[in-house]
A and B are shown apart, each in its own frame.
Chain A
Amino acid sequence: MISLNLKKTLKSAGGKMDLDLQLTIEKGQFVTLFGESGAGKTSTLRMLSGLLKPDSGTIKVGETIWFDSHKNIDLKPQHRKVGYVFQDYALFPNMSVRQNLEYALRKNQDRTIIGELLEFAQLGELEQRNPETLSGGQKQRVALVRALVQRPEILILDEPLSALDLKMRIKLQEYLLQVHKKYNLTTILVSHDIGEIVKLSDRVFELQNGSVIKQGTAAEFFGLNKTSAKFRFSGEILKIQREDVLYVISVLIGNDIIKVVADRTEANNFKIGDQVLVASKAFNPIIQKI
């Protein structure tokens, strides 16, 4: 179990913010930190990994105290068992893919894990390449497996997929889930993508102005339990158009626009830009291969 109790005054572009948060994460959980930019998500991750020093508080992982301002305990990042995947990947440009992984090895660590990880991430053919010649998704996979070389207890993912296109994201989400299970990790993700969060996480914490304002399972969190629909998507209203007695509402879901029919009272409740849930329970949707 990880328990964080952190206080820190952060200075950012938007001025000062007092971060004051308590978080408890069960071992083995996949947890997402959610919230606006500047809410303190990245700072929280940096404090957990030892890259940023809290003004006061405690960080306890299992039975080990990583940070305690009263007892003057502050474990260096080098001694915290954390695998950190940075938003910009932070691959070492002077090393090949394989060397990037090898650099991460602990002294006297068994080297077979390198081959195992390269194979797992399907990077075998790219192992001699330099990072700058790789695509975004490939870089991301290198960064991910590099963070696993030392067999960390905690995997930290700071918006790892935000720079990738939809197809690549979906593929890498699968990787993240597999990795999480295979290596018995406690994984902490920062993400803005609701679909991604629902798919990956056991628990979601919403941060605002440096505090946790809401938490729960992903389904509870986004209110998905309210309708027991057979199929259900969230999207944004693009257009509300009147057609004789009915209204046609165009909703953007992912990259697709769908049209939903509504009556006048329903249509009056919506305006363009609203986030809505489109669900159906009465009839069975058609499913076919594309």
Chain B
Amino acid sequence: MDWQPLVLTFKLAVVTTAILFVVSIPIASWLSSTRSKIRPVLETLVSMPLVLPPTVLGFYMLVTFSPENAFGNWLNEWLGIKLIFSFEGLVLASVIYSLPFMVQPIQAGLSSLPSTLKEASYTMGKSKMTTLLKILLPNIKPSLLTGIVLSFAHTIGEFGVVLMIGGNMSGKTKVASIAIYDEVEALNYAAANSYSLILFTVTFIILLLVYLTNGGYFKRYSQ
């Protein structure tokens, strides 16, 4: 069996999750505290990947970043960035595609905290940054964990957007979900089954761990 697609899948998931974590905290923090009029618009944009067919996102990214176009050409010629049929392109697409899975739990977590925690910290002379890092985030650990795991699992499971923007290049953009499709097309059911079983098991274990942790099972049995 070719392990490359699986390795690529997990590499993509790790990189995507790491980037999402860093990007989503400021977005979620802004969304949970702002009264700005553009908030619903931004919330909608963040949530769009939940309902939009991945192929739509993939299609527009393909069109935008294609070297045939002015923007894609500029990226390619001036910055040397090629986002189509490349791992970098996959990462960007996955980040956009999994954004709601990271932003929403963190936003919900932050909104659930009483605003007095933040205000108490401000009256103690602490900056917004210090308050976020030392007070707010440590008190929403279950939400952070949920966000991380959901984005990770969701990235493992994506298919359409990866196929559109990444193509199906062995060792470069061919992730496990696409490899399964490939093997089935080639009537190679045994290989398809191996990939599927591994993905099934890994995602099951990851999600189970989250539910056990957030449900307090580990704490209960360790005491």
Contact = CB atoms under 8 A, between A and B. Distances in A.
* A and B associate: yes
Given A92-B117, A93-B139, A94-B139, A84 B134 contact: no
A83 B114 contact: no
Contacts of A225: none
Contact of A90 (B120, B126, B127): B120
A84 B138 contact: no
Interface string A73-94: 0001111101110111010111
B77 interface: no
Contacts of A257: none
B135 interface: yes
Interface in B94-116: 114, 116
Given A92-B135, A93-B139, A94-B135, A51 B122 contact: yes
A103 interface: yes
B138 to A, nearest CB: 4
Contact of B124 (A76, A87, A88, A103): A103
Contact of B123 (A83, A93, A94, A103): A83
B80 interface: no
Interface size class of B (residues with CB under 8 A): 10 to 19
B216 interface: no
B125 A51 contact: no
A32 interface: no
Contacts of A90: 114, 116-117, 119-120
A106 B119 CA distance: 16
A43 interface: no
B120 A150 contact: no
Contacts of A80: 123
A186 interface: no
Contact of A49 (B117, B123, B126, B135): B123
Nearest to B117: A90
Contacts of B139: 92-94
Interface in A90-108: 90, 92-94, 103-104, 106
Given A90-B116, A92-B139, A103 B122 contact: no
A86 B125 contact: no
Contacts of B123: 49-51, 77-78, 80, 82-84, 147
15 contacts: A50-B122, A77-B119, A77-B123, A78-B123, A78-B125, A79-B125, A84-B119, A88-B116, A90-B117, A103-B121, A103-B134, A146-B124, A147-B123, A149-B124, A150-B124
Given A86-B119, A93-B139, 17 more contacts: A51-B119, A51-B122, A77-B119, A77-B122, A77-B123, A78-B126, A83-B123, A84-B119, A90-B114, A92-B117, A92-B120, A92-B135, A92-B139, A94-B138, A94-B139, A103-B134, A103-B135
